[in-house]
Amino acid sequence: MRRLSFIDAGFLLAEKRETPMHVGGLHLFTLPGDADEQSFLHRLADQLRSADSFQPPFGDRLKMGRMGALGPVYWEPDASLDIDYHIRHSALPKPGRYRELFALVSRLHSTLLDRSRPLWEMHLIEGLKGRQFAVYSKFHHAAIDGIRAMHLTQSMYSTNPRARLHGSPLSRRTNSSSVPGSASAVST
């Protein structure tokens, strides 16, 4: 078990329904060539779920004592991790406009993360016009700060359209073999 820093525990203490302490990111993509939207996103979700061992904090949940967030708080491996809860596939009615996408993301962002589970979610969203899809990610600030989120994002994407990442970018193995900025795109 790893103990949360004083600052990270502070994010847990400060969180209220009116002031969530998670950060979110929305990324828009265009489907490659003549790829089928549903099967492409199903393969993408399967790849994200494929980690045999998730890097911290993706496979870790909070462990609190009798004093809750006021006492010592630790990260512990989640032995009953439900990866389908964390990686979700949603669809907008076609042809989805940005207005509907932003309404969905606003609703997703407004809910607090479940503290009995690892503190993150990733939503693959299909149905946008122009063969686009979106990925909305939400991480609790106690689990991932802005720099870590940027490194994670860089490890998933590439400027080279032929580059492919083999394995889940959330896995320990992929994380240990990637260097921020030298990332590969998710395979198609």
Domain holding 124: CATH number? 3.30.559.10
Identify whether 166 is part of a domain. Answer: no
**Cα–Cα dist 146/139, whole Å:** 10
pLDDT value, residue 175: 64
Q: Can you give the residue range of the structural domain that contains 84?
A: 2-142
Tokens standing for residue 145: 């700060």
Tell me if residue 22 is catalytic: no
Identify whether 167 is part of a domain. Answer: no
Identify whether 173 is part of a domain. Answer: no
Which DSSP string do the residues of 23-83 spell out, in sequence order? EEEEEEEE--TT--HHHHHHHHHHHHHT-SSBPTTTTEEEEEETTEEEEEEEEEE-TT--H
**Phi-psi group of 150: left, alpha or beta (phi > 0 → left; psi -120 to 50 → alpha; rest → beta):** alpha
Long-range contact set of residues 161-168: C-beta below 8 Å, sequence gap at least 24: 161/32, 161/185, 164/188, 167/47, 167/50, 167/51, 168/47, 168/48, 168/49, 168/50, 168/51, 168/54
In tens, the pLDDT along 24-71 reads 999 999 998 888 988 999 999 999 999 888 888 899 999 988 887 788
Identify whether 18 is part of a domain. Answer: yes
User: Token pair 């004083």 is at which residue?
Assistant: 6
If one compares 16 and 1, the residue with the highest pLDDT of the two is: 16
Domains contained in the chain, number: 1
Identify whether 65 is part of a domain. Answer: yes
User: Token pair 């462990």 is at which residue?
Assistant: 63
If one compares 175 and 43, the residue with the highest pLDDT of the two is: 43
**Cα–Cα dist 67/65, whole Å:** 5
pLDDT value, residue 46: 92
Which among 27, 123, 141, 166 is annotated as catalytic?
A: 141
In tens, the pLDDT along 115-168 reads 999 999 999 999 999 999 999 999 999 999 878 888 887 777 777 777 777 788
pLDDT value, residue 180: 45
* pLDDT average, residue stretch 67-78: 87
Please tell me the pTM assigned to this model. 0.86
pLDDT value, residue 29: 92
Identify whether 148 is part of a domain. Answer: no
Identify whether 105 is part of a domain. Answer: yes
Identify whether 40 is part of a domain. Answer: yes
**Cα–Cα dist 159/18, whole Å:** 38
In tens, the pLDDT along 88-101 reads 999 999 899 999 99
* pLDDT average, residue stretch 10-33: 92
**Cα–Cα dist 20/25, whole Å:** 15
